[in-house]
Amino acid sequence: MDKVIRLFCIIMFDGNSGVVGVIVHALFLVGLWRLLEKSGLKGWWALIPGARDYQLCRCAGREPEGRVYSVTGVAVIVLSAVMLFTQPDVENAETPSGIAIVLLLLMFTLAMVQFFYGIRVWRGLIEVYGVRRRWMWLWLISYTCWIPALLWGFSDKYRPEWQVEDIRAEMARLASSGSATVMDEGLTVNLRERSATEFFQKKVLLRDIHMSIPQGHMVLLLGGSGAGKTTYLNAINGYEKADADVMLNGTNMYRQYKKMQYEVGFVPQSEMMRGKDTVLNTLLDAAKLRLPVDVSAKQRRARVDEVMDIFGLKPVKNNLVEKLSGGQKKRLSISMEFISNPSLFILDEPDSGLDGVMARELFVQLRKIADTGKIVIVITHTPDRVIDLFDDVIVLAKDSARTGRLAWYGSIEDARKFFGREKMEQIVKSVNRKEEGGDGLADEFVMKYAKEVA
């Protein structure tokens, strides 16, 4: 019975079984209940271990940190319960067992992780409530954290600058109205929402992205970390379907996916090639996979020869992949996807690991592909060295609700005027969050663009 009571205290009161500890933690939970309600959340989350930590992080504007903070909190509870029932005398034993030592070290590590993440959470709450930083000391000490929780929770003097649900509602209101007009020739994307379920709630990854890209355009895709660039590309090519209508040359990509899969080429950042194969055999294998089954072996070989000519690989066609230079490997990786002669060509950081000269040469080749009437969409982290080769730029930004939104789609020159920045890297910096080294202007530009296209 004693162990059951201690287990209850571990779950509900963070291990405090003494009268004072239970009272102190109970007061903290009461204050936390009110804090959650002030931020527009359900107060009863305060009674659920792990979930209350995550919801508190949302109130503090620290949702990404909340995932680690809540998981480590639950892990500490589970580990404490394991130690309670399997190693009851760890603290009193003169020579703890090896298992006990491992459990204690693991407990210490988890506690330290939670402590340092807790600092970020309390700092976020201090910013949200607009109070002085010295409040941090009360939050960090387990026997005093109930004081700010009760004061901020029940006193009208302390009010959060924003509410969690208000942010989502406001950003949803700013959704770009209408949809892009479907083109008979080109790519039309009307993405309403791409979501997933994470940590007790629906997480909207992308929202309200509408655009039409004409044939023959080479488009740069920009956005900071977590803005949804890869998620957006996966939605376009049908790998991860969204609530969207994606039309390529008048055909719905989702409804006729099997037919359209040959019309889309996607080159990931990582190179998936066998080092012991020759260039020729690598492309012949790619042709078997990428071309329709009714294409003859003679036609496949002819297409492989054509692609090797385009990308300058004929001189090394009998070389092993592992013997190729970095630039040659990149061209081979691109050639594998270009075998099917796609109408839409998507590349994720094709210049990764290449020097300026080799990268420039590669992008010049992509420009030539676009000039044949293809649509080429590229992600690159060094856009300014090749920006003259692009027609348009897409800028995705992570808004206050941590949802990827469209902050711009249009020509390069118009983008410079819209953001008031000359360099593309400066544009990315402007929409990145301040804690990520940016200017924190994502909401401002998402709103500005939504009004401009309305």
Give the domains, in start order, of the chain with CATH numbers: 2-161 (no CATH), 170-453 (3.40.50.300)
Residue 311 pLDDT > 80: yes
Q: Which residue has the tokens 């296209």?
A: 453
The more confidently predicted of residues 139 and 248 is 248
Fill in the DSSP letter of residue 439.
-
Can you tell me the distance from the alpha carbon of 258 to that of 186, in angstroms, rounded to the nearest whole number?
A: 19
Average pLDDT, the chain: 82
Residue 235 pLDDT > 80: yes
As a whole-number percent, the residues of the chain with pLDDT over 90 amount to 17
- How far from 65 is each of 28, 118, 149, 157, 290, CA to CA, in Å? 21, 9, 20, 28, 42
Q: What is the mean pLDDT of residues 112-137?
A: 86
pLDDT at 166: 54
pLDDT band at 389 (very low <50, low <70, confident <90, very high): very high
The more confidently predicted of residues 402 and 385 is 385
Q: How many residues does the chain have?
A: 454
Region of poorest pLDDT, from 82-91, 170-179, 234-243, 294-303 = 170-179
pLDDT at 11: 55
Whole-model pTM over 0.75: no
What are the tens digits of pLDDT across the range 149-202? 899 989 888 888 777 755 555 555 555 455 777 777 889 999 988 887 665 567
Q: What is the mean pLDDT of residues 276-286?
A: 87
pLDDT band at 263 (very low <50, low <70, confident <90, very high): confident
Can you tell me the distance from the alpha carbon of 235 to that of 191, in angstroms, rounded to the nearest whole number?
A: 8
pLDDT at 97: 63
pLDDT band at 314 (very low <50, low <70, confident <90, very high): confident
With the C-alpha atoms ordered 229, 232, 233, 239, is the resulting torsion angle positive or negative?
A: positive
pLDDT band at 111 (very low <50, low <70, confident <90, very high): confident
Q: Which tokens is 242 given?
A: 């969204």
Residue 76 pLDDT > 70: yes
pLDDT band at 412 (very low <50, low <70, confident <90, very high): very high
Residue 368 pLDDT > 70: yes
DSSP letter string, 20-70: HHHHHHHHHHHHHHHHHHHTTS-GGGGGSTTHHHHHHHHHTT-HHHHHHHH
Highest mean pLDDT among 102-111, 205-214, 436-445: 205-214
Q: Which tokens is 220 given?
A: 């740069």
Can you tell me the distance from the alpha carbon of 244 to that of 286, in angstroms, rounded to the nearest whole number?
A: 30
pLDDT at 341: 86
pLDDT at 360: 87
pLDDT band at 88 (very low <50, low <70, confident <90, very high): low
- How far from 342 is each of 123, 207, 247, 425, CA to CA, in Å? 50, 27, 14, 29
Can you tell me the distance from the alpha carbon of 449 to that of 399, in angstroms, rounded to the nearest whole number?
A: 13
Residue 203 pLDDT > 60: yes
Contact 52, 46 (CB under 8 A): yes
pLDDT at 90: 47
The span from the first CA to the last CA of the chain, in angstroms, equals 66
Can you tell me the distance from the alpha carbon of 429 to that of 97, in angstroms, rounded to the nearest whole number?
A: 52
pLDDT at 414: 95
What are the tens digits of pLDDT across the range 239-261? 888 888 999 988 888 888 877 87
Contact 422, 416 (CB under 8 A): yes
The more confidently predicted of residues 425 and 325 is 425
Q: Which helix (H) or strand (E) holds 112?
A: helix 98-129
Apex 29 CA angle, 25 and 33, nearest 5: 170
Q: What is the mean pLDDT of residues 262-280?
A: 81
Residue 101 pLDDT > 70: yes
Residue 5 pLDDT > 60: no
Can you tell me the distance from the alpha carbon of 131 to that of 129, in angstroms, rounded to the nearest whole number?
A: 6
Q: Which residues pair with 70 in a beta bridge?
A: none
The more confidently predicted of residues 234 and 276 is 234
Residue 206 pLDDT > 60: yes
- How far from 336 is each of 284, 311, 329, 345, CA to CA, in Å? 9, 11, 11, 12
Contact 207, 172 (CB under 8 A): yes
pLDDT at 141: 81
The one-letter amino acid at 50 = G
What are the tens digits of pLDDT across the range 31-65? 899 988 888 888 888 888 888 888 888 888 777 77
- Strands 243-248 and 218-223, sheet pairing: unpaired
pLDDT at 4: 54
Residue 187: name the closest of 230, 237, 256, 223 by CA. 237
Residue 443: name the closest of 43, 168, 78 by CA. 168
Q: What is the mean pLDDT of residues 378-406?
A: 90
